[in-house]
Structures are given as structure tokens and as C-alpha cells.
Structure 1
Amino acid sequence: MARSFADLRTHLLSGQSPPHAVNGSVSYLSSRPHLEQKAAALIAERDRRAQFFAEELFADPAWDILLDLTLAALQQRRVTVSNLCIGAHVPQTTALRWIKMMADEGLLERQDDRLDARRKFVALAPATLKKMLAYLESIDQKTGCAG
């Protein structure tokens, strides 16, 4: 934690924009716009499929949750549980069950909203984010995105 504060202090004293906190640590995810584009393309591809086939045919809430939270981390924004349920493209009870299971497995972290006790945020655990970024890096640009 001290390292994060030291990095933030250095950035502030140098007049640079501060790095954003993701999962409680200083992150330089904004320097990876190509990964944000890949994550967005995977989500768009899944949405495009739904124009031609019933969403239930390709229901994969765990993957949709991972993609949504990866894109959110790359865009340095927080995601509420209710928004994540919408992004999972399954009934809310199903999405909540997947979120709980993934959090119990250590893939996700739930965070309280300090301003509104009724609201919770969800983010990828640091190890999960690392794996998702490695996955996005591994996507061959020549073959495009597969989702």
C-alpha cells in the first residue's frame, strides 16, 4: 500500500495526471488501449450474435461477467452488481448465483459503496484481471476476436 501512495505522490508532485486505482492498487491499465479494443470487440461480437440467434443458445454468464469486468477495469470504471447482472444476459437470479460462485472461488471481489450501503460494486480479483489481460494479449490480430 505504501508503494501505491508513493507512486501517487510522485505523479501528483510531477504535475502528471494520477494513475487510477483498480482493485485497490495503482494501475496503468490506461496505457493498454489495444486491450480495451479487444475486450470491447469480444463483447460486441457476442451482442451481434444475439441479433441472429436466441441469447439462451449461447448463454455463458461467467464469460460475460469476466468480459464486462475486464472492460470496466481497462476503462477504469466501477461496476455495480445490478449493472453486472444486466451485462450477463441471463435472468437476475442466475447472474447473482454466478457472481456469488465466482466471488467464492476468488475470481471476483465485492466492494461496499461507502456512500450508499444498499449498493455493492464488483471487480475482478487481481489474479483474474492478470489472466484476462494475458488472454486478450494472446488474441492474434490476424484472425480477429473469437467470442
Structure 2
Amino acid sequence: MKNESVVELIKDLTAKLSAVAEEFNGRVAHAAEEAPVGEENDEAALVDFAETVLEQRRMRRQFLPGELFHEPAWDMLLALFVSRDARLPMNIKALVSMSDAPVTTSQRWIEHLHKLKLIDRVIDPTDRRRVEISLSHTGDQAMKAYLRALKHQ
């Protein structure tokens, strides 16, 4: 009986997570369709803007307590967006350091971002302990759409 309830709970959680992911993917697709004409190729400006946003987020900690700004997933997404343009590989260790959060918290967020299909993980074939992280196509499109919207407010 107890195992059946655990199985049902897992099925329910999986269904809910899938529904959230589907809704999110629909929003990303809709936002990508509405991208202003002529800005599709303006990725360099979006990367510069993302770097500015990331710098501003870090600067807040100079003036206010850091615990007020604890959003490791968002910091990771910004860092991945910036690093992909510079063609810099981002492994888990580097990504954890960018999130300014404890390792276990960062790893949980990495797992959650992967479940939401915002990031891809690739195991290094020569060193299986090393995992490269990058934005997925969905994550990349979401970041571009959000940064465009933010930039044009």
C-alpha cells in the first residue's frame, strides 16, 4: 500500500512538472514569434545586455545583504547565456561558482533547469567526471525573448 502511494505521488509530480514545462515551452515559442524584425541577428547586443544585468546583480551585494538576492537559477541562466556567445565551456564547477549559492543548492537547481529543458548536460567522453553545461535551444530562445523584452521596456 505504501509503495503504491509513493508511485502515485511520483506520477503526479511528473505530470505536474511536464505540464509546467509544456506551458513554459509554449510561452517561449510565442515570445520568439513576436521578436521584433531585424533583431534576430542582434545577439551581440543581447549578450552585452545580459552581461550588464549580471554585473548589476552582483553589484547589489556590495550595498545590501546578499541573502536578499538569492536566485541561483537566474544567475546560472545569465552566465550560460553570456558564456555561450564567448564559446567558453561551462562545467558544473564553474556554473556553481557563478550562482553564488551552496554546491548542493546549485546542483539541485542545475537538475531542475535540466528537467525544465532549459539547459543541456554533456558528459566529457575522455573524463566522465566532467559535465559540460549549456543552454538548450529552449533556454536560449527564452533568454533572448526575455532580454529583448527587458531591453525594450
* Cα distance in 1, alignment partners of residues 41 and 79 from structure 2: 16
Q: Is the partner of 1:51 in helix, strand or coil?
A: helix
Write the distance in 1 (CA, Å) between the matches of 2:88 and 2:141: 17
Identity of aligned residues (%): 30
CA RMSD after TM alignment: 1.9
TM-score, structure 1 as length reference: 0.71
Task: Report whether the alignment pairs 1:108 with 2:119.
Answer: yes
TM-score, with length taken from structure 2: 0.68
Match of 1:119 among 130, 135, 140: 130
Task: Show CA shifts across 1:85-115 (max 9, x none).
Answer: 0101111110001101111221111111123
Query: Which of these residues, 100, 108, 118, is aligned with residue 97 of structure 1?
Result: 108
Q: Which residue of 1 aligns with 2:99?
A: 88
Give the number of equivalent residue pairs.
114
**Structure 1 SS opposite 2:63:** coil
Q: Which has the higher helix share?
A: 2
SS of equivalent residue, structure 1 residue 50: helix
- Code of the residue aligned with 2:113 in structure 1: it is M
Residues 25-36 of structure 1 mapped to structure 2, 5 A cutoff: 32-36=43-47
Q: Which runs of 5+ in 2 are unaligned?
A: 1-39
Deviation (angstroms), 1:30: 8.8
Q: Partners in 1 of 2:151 and 2:109 — Cα distance? A: 29
1:30-63 deviations in Å (ceiling 9; x for gaps): 9622111101001100110011112211100111
Structure 2 partner of 1:138:
149
Does the CA-based 8 Å contact 1:30-1:75 persist in structure 2?
Answer: no
1:77 is aligned to 88
Hey, what's the Cα distance between the residues in 1 that align with 2:41 and 2:64?
34
* C-alpha distance in 1 between matches for 2:87 and 2:117: 21
Distance 1:119 1:135, change over 3 A: same
Distance across 2 between alignment mates of 1:79 and 1:34: 21
Supply the AA of the counterpart residue of 1:44.
E
**Unmatched 5+ residue regions in structure 1?**
1-28
Task: Kindly state the Cα deviation for residue 137 of structure 1 after the two structures are TM-superposed.
Answer: 1.8
Matched, 1:51 2:62: yes
